Amino acid sequence: MPVLITYATSRGSTKEVADRIASRLHAVGFAVDCRPVDHVFSVENYSAVIIGSPIYHQKWLLDAQKFVDVEAVGLRMKPVWAFSLGMVGKPGWRRARAIKKETSRIEDVLIQKVPKVRDHRLFGGKDDGSSVSTPLRGLYRCLGGSFGDMRDWTAIDSWTSLIAKELHADGL
């Protein structure tokens, strides 16, 4: 059975990360199916599931939250990994603190529904700041935030390799 890589996205950056994870897993021999959460009929016919969502206003997108709610029973029966995309600022102590806070906020909700999620990662996302007013953009920068494409493809690839190792170890 294929591995499902499923995602919610508003502006496309999470889809690109999901596509990357899918193509890396495919390259090392796994059958994969990569599709948006609202195009998944059921998780039943997949050997494992990787779910991704960007964070908007401190939460996963509604489609991703709904997917986890609706599929919770099925997800509890298979290996599940999750990732989030968010703008967590420039390297530094503020960033480490922001990542910790944002990560545990997402995990608290996720783990209630799927207690055995194998791992959840928060990766930097992509935001040009155009949806934010100039004063707010300035304030965000003063607080250590930054705009642009913050996706760390090396970190995403390493995480994918870890998942591949675990899937192999599970005999999948």
Q: How far is the CB of 86 from ligand FMN (least distance, A)?
A: 2
Measured in whole angstroms, how far is the alpha carbon of residue 91 from the centre of its chain?
Answer: 20
- Give, as ranges, the residues between 114 and 133 that touch ligand FMN (CB under 6 A): 125-127, 131
CB 144 → ligand FMN: shortest distance, Å?
Answer: 13
Q: How far is the CB of 142 from ligand FMN (least distance, A)?
A: 17
CA-based max dimension of the chain: 53
Residues in 30-59 that interact with ligand FMN by CB under 6 A:
54-58
SS (H, E, C) 10-21: CCCHHHHHHHHH
Rule CB under 6 A: choose which of 86, 110, 164, 167 binds ligand FMN: 86
| 104 part of the interface to ligand FMN, by CB under 6 A | no
Q: For residue 149, give Cα distances in angstroms to 23, 39, 118, 124.
A: 20, 27, 27, 8
CA 70, CA 38: separation in Å to the nearest integer?
Answer: 11
Q: Which residues bind ligand FMN (CB under 6 A)?
A: 9-14, 54-58, 85-88, 102, 125-127, 131
